[in-house]
Amino acid sequence: MDSIASTSLASLWDQVSGTQPDPDLWVVIATLVAALAVIVPHGVWRVSRNTITIAHEGGHGLVALLTGRSLSGIRLHSDTSGLTVSRGRPTGLGMILTAAAGYTAPPLLGLGGAALLGAGRITLLLWLATALLVAMLVMIRNAYGVLTVVLTGGLFLMVSWLAGPQVQAAFAYAVVWFLLLGGVRPGFELQAKRRRGGARDSDADQLSRLTHVPAGVWLFLFHAVSLCSLLAGAHWLLPL
């Protein structure tokens, strides 16, 4: 019995950690177009942006834990805003890194995903994403947030377990394109809001108060991370 269980676990690990063949070029291009189709139109973006918010708040939460802060909870709202509450020193490097992690998390996750896809690790990407969503679910503190994360995690789990290799590849590429491209837009939206006199308690403004560096400099950092991640990720995703 133990031998059968060990064999099954070894087989599962080989499946997860192994490599899968790259999809055809037309699949890569089609997933790129699909990602743009849910990012560019404003009406569709109002819904799809929820996924970027999950990555944004997850970035705050993960870095808070990595820097020794105590994570109290995460809330996701229907207007695509979110809130991550952590306890610890109100100033210092840990707080700065935690505040900076939000806008940089989606493009950096997309970049990491592109690196895995470039190495042919499609199944590993899907399982890692599912694991991160499950871990985040534990810290969600409102009903809408739970619903959003459960639906997103359920979709990843369903594709990971039930879909064939071609569907898994197309889904993985679409997700990574979405993170890379969708990670660019929020920085420009924040810049536009600040230009109109709004969003004065944004991550950039909090970072400005923590570091005495102008919020515009932090906005430039958000843009630089998202655009560089997009360019590097596209290099891995497109078989040029």
pTM: 0.92
Angstrom distance (rounded) from CA 29 to CA 50:
24
Tokens representing 28? 């890569």
Stretch (H or E) spanning 207: helix 203-211
Band of pLDDT at residue 15, cut at 50, 70 and 90 = low
pLDDT digits (tens, 9 = 90+) for 117-146: 999 999 999 999 999 999 999 999 999 999
User: Region 214-240: what's the mean pLDDT?
Assistant: 95
For residue 191, being part of any structural domain is answered with yes
What pLDDT, on the 0 to 100 scale, is given for residue 2?
A: 56
Domain encompassing residue 72: 43-237
For residue 25, being part of any structural domain is answered with no
For residue 9, being part of any structural domain is answered with no
For residue 4, being part of any structural domain is answered with no
Q: Is pLDDT above 80 for 16?
A: no
> Bridge-partner residues for 113, per DSSP?
none
Band of pLDDT at residue 18, cut at 50, 70 and 90 = low
Is 87 within 8 Å of 70 (Cβ atoms)? yes
User: Per DSSP, which regions of the chain are E strands?
Assistant: 70-76, 82-87
What pLDDT, on the 0 to 100 scale, is given for residue 191?
A: 95
What pLDDT, on the 0 to 100 scale, is given for residue 21?
A: 82
Instruction: Measure the CA dihedral 199/77/36/128, to 10°.
Output: 120
For residue 66, being part of any structural domain is answered with yes
The tally of domains found in the chain comes to: 1
Longest alpha-carbon distance in the chain:
67
What pLDDT, on the 0 to 100 scale, is given for residue 10?
A: 52
For residue 94, being part of any structural domain is answered with yes
Q: Is pLDDT above 90 for 4?
A: no
Q: Which of 126, 236, 240, 127 is nearest to 175 (CA)?
A: 126
Angstrom distance (rounded) from CA 140 to CA 131:
15
- Burial readout 197-235 (b: 16 or more C-beta within 10 A, e: otherwise): eebeebbbbbbbebeeeebeebbebbbebbeebbebbbe
User: In this predicted model, which residue has the larger pLDDT, 4 or 57?
Assistant: 57
The alpha carbon of 105 is separated from its chain's Cα centroid by a whole number of angstroms, namely 6
CA atoms within 13 A on the CB side of 3: 0
For residue 16, being part of any structural domain is answered with no
In percent, the amount of the chain with pLDDT more than 70 equals 92
What size, in residues, is the chain? 240
Band of pLDDT at residue 233, cut at 50, 70 and 90 = very high
Q: Is pLDDT above 70 for 14?
A: no
For residue 14, being part of any structural domain is answered with no
pLDDT digits (tens, 9 = 90+) for 158-171: 999 899 999 999 99
User: Region 98-119: what's the mean pLDDT?
Assistant: 97
Angstrom distance (rounded) from CA 146 to CA 157:
16
User: Region 211-240: what's the mean pLDDT?
Assistant: 95
For the chain, the average pLDDT equals 92
Stretch (H or E) spanning 123: helix 122-137
